[in-house]
Structure 1
């Protein structure tokens, strides 16, 4: 006789606020994956070298860094997620308009940086709002769905850019189409507001769960601070109230329970909660508090971080310069070659849809090596032939590998940080900025001297370096199931 499970099946609540957040992240994804092939077409319009054109990715990365640093202040200043997200989309629209309106390097470079500022704000605010609205149980799944939606929306972007260029109406028309898309989104869902219960109190999010933001999310710790402060409150608080807030599963207000025992159990429950959240609990006032520094991170963490930088470099080199190699090797028109990014993004969309579930069943080391191996096979297909069909297929396979590399390495780094998850997250984001700022520029610089085909050998060098870094950092205790489906 089989037993029937009585545990409820958790599902993401797809209310209006959740759908709006999904679509707002999708609007940014449309811009991002239209922006990459546009750089190659802008190079032709302004008669730039590949190295100079690659500076646009460097400026974009500088903007991402500035936006990441200012995101907490920005969201608080505007009064919460809803106004911050809409004003972020307005800023993105204006910066895209500036990028397209003035065909001069002195304008396009700073416009790319401004796009990076508002793009990073959107990428941080959306996962944070989803975590707050859905809590620790279904929040990670909601963030996963949001990234999957964004990836599928992004598939259309390079198709639009390539189609517009091939039709003779100009790639700028396709990139600018993100502006009316944002306008339509506001007309349809502009009145939707964040639920009052979500803004009242934020739920803590487990470190491993936060990886589903794919390096773009923030872990909200307001709930954690509230729990810690309440655990050290005065004796005037009733035991039943303490028990309801801290333990939940126990009735700490039993008639025979002493007040001291209640507080001890509450403090123990709070400690267990905080161990699974970010950041570490504040120490009592009579103990000194020392801020974590880079020296607190282990050598293994920094070796793993090298792999993360390589993973970011691979993704942006593929999306930024694959159209150039398609034109050079397969002799495709500029418009058709620009759609090569679609193959990469399609592979990423599929990989991000199934990646979380795979991580529940496959050891994390094995999955990381499989992702880099898949990437290497896809690149070999793309690089070694001049057949456009095979090249597009190779890009799709490479995108499949790219999809999970960075989030898995970010999760690995957090586990190696010995509880310094916020510091590890900051290093991960900074490393991603370094990758975006330097790798596409370096590939473009080399292509001006040795040709794009030879210059693209940087990618297998990045892949091999990343795999060596993962192997060198050794095995570690990574609990299965940390990354939710």
Structure 2
């Protein structure tokens, strides 16, 4: 186990080698837990908007504005991360962004008006994405070439949050406590983490003499960043419109919404499997190709069947397939950054915010014009783009070396 200070000398050899045991030390555990807090908020936000709309009586168009403002905040965060990372230590950036995210949760849940809750959505997207990005940076700084395993394991907690956050929200919404208490759960956990780890030194950004300045990111890094964004868009399209397609098979709206949990369960199981498979280094590319190979046929089963049971099975298998696309794609993006990991991390989140925001909107527009079943042809196109980006990124990486 390595002891970190606020600076790492450029002359020191990198501690990240393939022969070093993978150690879940304090910075790693902190990152895993804090990422779970953020994803709990993320997966509670969508269902909470439905409840908020019922209380405040705003339109479906305004409902979309909440999502748009969240994405806008996320994009602004991605733009500003490199600037902030150059001026603040990892610890200061983490705890400041965590505090701001808690503030966003307070504005969103306690605002009592459309204007204040909209402001909360912006703060949520801005501060939450900043916290996500710095957590990813800490794991990358700490584990170097083994970042694929660290990011995959970290997203196991994200998968668990995807399963439990809507369930907790629904349970509290029907209780005397109310749905707003759901957003206090991650805040309490973050306070506990701060009290436990506030004095814990976190790994500093590695110093790469050759990477100084404002040079461009390598082509492979950009292609892998697009892969990261498009793979996330596949998931968002399923989350937003999957229940609507299940209704076409004969399920009621309530049953279709509940059946979406099969996708979340698939994501959780897929990430548990991915965490096991990435215990040995060098498996990220093979696992990515395997994940895309599972996602394609599984989506076709979900998309084209008229039997509810088969559609739910397809949705579950889609979750297994897409589970590891984001963490492994991000690991490839950071690995191809050529010493500009912070810049690559920020750019990947910026592209993700744009692509993941546009894709569901595009699918909805196509559905209004051509029907939902036809509109879902967008998903195979996104899967095909992922295959092309992975192949192109690997080829560009080989050419660069």
TM-score under structure 2 normalisation? 0.75
Residue 61 of structure 2 is aligned to residue 57 of structure 1: no
Consecutive unaligned residues of structure 1, counting only runs of 5 or more, are 1-6, 204-219, 225-273, 283-289, 479-485
Assess if the C-alpha contact under 8 Å between 1:368 and 1:408 holds in 2.
yes
**Number of the residue aligned with 2:10:** none
1:12–1:141 CA contact under 8 A, matched in 2: no
Return the match for 1:73 from 67, 84, 106. 84
Alpha-carbon offset, residue 193 of structure 1:
3.4
1:114 aligns with 2:44: no
- Which structure 2 residues correspond to residues 72-471 of structure 1 after superposition, within 5 A? 73=84, 76=88, 80=92, 83-84=95-96, 86-97=98-109, 101-102=112-113, 104=114, 109-129=118-138, 144-161=152-169, 173-174=178-179, 176-185=180-189, 188=192, 191-196=195-200, 198=201, 202-203=203-204, 220-221=205-206, 224=207, 274=208, 280=210, 282=212, 291-293=214-216, 297-298=218-219, 302-334=222-254, 336-359=255-278, 360=280, 364-414=284-334, 420-471=340-391
**Cα shift at 1:63:** 0.8
CA separation of 1:39 and 1:390: change in aligned 2, threshold 3 A: farther
**C-alpha distance 434-180 of structure 1, shift in aligned 2 (>3 A):** closer
Q: How far apart are 1:443 and its partner, in Å?
A: 1.6
Highest Rg: 1 or 2?
Answer: 1
Provide, for residues 400-439 of structure 1, a one-character-per-residue CA deviation record: whole Å limited to 9, x for no partner: 2212223333344455555554443333222111112211
Question: Structure 2: how far apart are the matches of 1:68 and 1:383?
Answer: 33
Q: How many residues align?
A: 376
**Distance change >3 Å, CA 305–CA 154, structure 1 → 2:** closer
d(CA) in 1 for partners of 2:229, 2:94? 32
Distance 1:326 1:161 in 2: 22
Deviation of 1:181 after TM superposition, in Å, equals 1.1
Native 8 Å contact 1:36 1:320 kept in 2: no
1:55 Cα shift? 4.5
Looking at structure 1, the residues matched to 50 and 299 of structure 2 have their Cα atoms a distance apart, in angstroms, of 19
Change in Cα spacing, 1:42 to 1:319, as seen in structure 2 (3 Å) is farther
Equivalent pair of 1:28/1:119 in contact (CA under 8 Å):
yes
Structure 2: unaligned runs, 5 residues or longer: 1-18
CA distance in structure 2 between the aligned counterparts of 1:465 and 1:9, rounded to whole angstroms: 35
